[in-house]
Amino acid sequence: MAVTQIRKRKFKPAKTLRVSWDSFRKQLNTLLRDSELSEEQAKEMTNLIVEGKGIVTQRPGTSNYYLASENGKIRGLFGAKVGDTSELLAVSDDGWLTKKSSSSYERINGSSWVSGEKVRMVQLQNKVYIVQKNRPLVRYDGTTLLSYTTVTSPTSLTATNLTYLGYLEALPGVGEWLLRLTQVQP
């Protein structure tokens, strides 16, 4: 029977590695192995974000920014500057206009909109005009809603002895056609 001599190796503790965590200029890198990362890279950053030139800070929490309605979808959303304040306006499926100014919410009464249809808004000067298909135009001035009355179609209109001459003209370099109409006197 052969006798083998077992030689015990002397125990060497691992070297202490000093790492400075003050800069992550190369930021998050999930593609490389841990041994391939430089000192300015991180493999995992849970609840952390990098700001500026590699400064690691805690990720801010989340919250609902704007609770226009608890019913249905938002059908129109618009950011407006009314006077000196910025307001976020929304019309949802409940049919009411709500605004958020600073941290408060307020429902604006005076007009309502049909559920399920899109609402369009545009701002001219300090007034916001709101329109929806098959509804009259509404103006919001920062405090109240004003509904315009619908203009009826004109009746009893007649046109006699009008003759128009029309021709198509190609616009060079654009690839479009233009229809030109000119009135011919009888």
Average of per-residue pLDDT values in the chain: 78
% of the chain with per-residue pLDDT over 70: 79
3-state secondary structure of 36: helix
3-state secondary structure of 63: coil
Q: Spell out a b/e string for 112-122, using b for 16 or more CB atoms within 10 Å of the CB, else e.
A: ebeeeeebebe
For the chain, give every domain's residue range. 27-58, 74-147
Q: Report residue 77 CA to chain centroid gap.
A: 9
The pLDDT, as a whole number, for residue 63 is: 64
pLDDT tens track for 106-156: 888 888 888 888 899 999 888 899 999 888 899 998 888 988 887 777 777
The pLDDT, as a whole number, for residue 86 is: 83
For the segment 65-76, the average pLDDT, to the nearest whole number, is 72
For residue 78, the tally of other CB atoms under 10 A from its CB is 19
In the predicted model, is pLDDT for residue 33 greater than 80?
yes
Q: How confident is the model at residue 95 (pLDDT cuts 50, 70, 90)?
A: confident
In the predicted model, is pLDDT for residue 64 greater than 70?
no
Q: How confident is the model at residue 15 (pLDDT cuts 50, 70, 90)?
A: confident
The pLDDT, as a whole number, for residue 122 is: 92
For the segment 154-162, the average pLDDT, to the nearest whole number, is 73
The CA-CA-CA angle for residues 63, 143, 86, to 5°, reads 45
In the predicted model, is pLDDT for residue 69 greater than 80?
no
Q: Report residue 144 CA to chain centroid gap.
A: 26
In the predicted model, is pLDDT for residue 65 greater than 70?
no
% of the chain with per-residue pLDDT over 90: 7
For the segment 73-84, the average pLDDT, to the nearest whole number, is 83
Nearest to 105 by CA among 143, 77, 67: 67
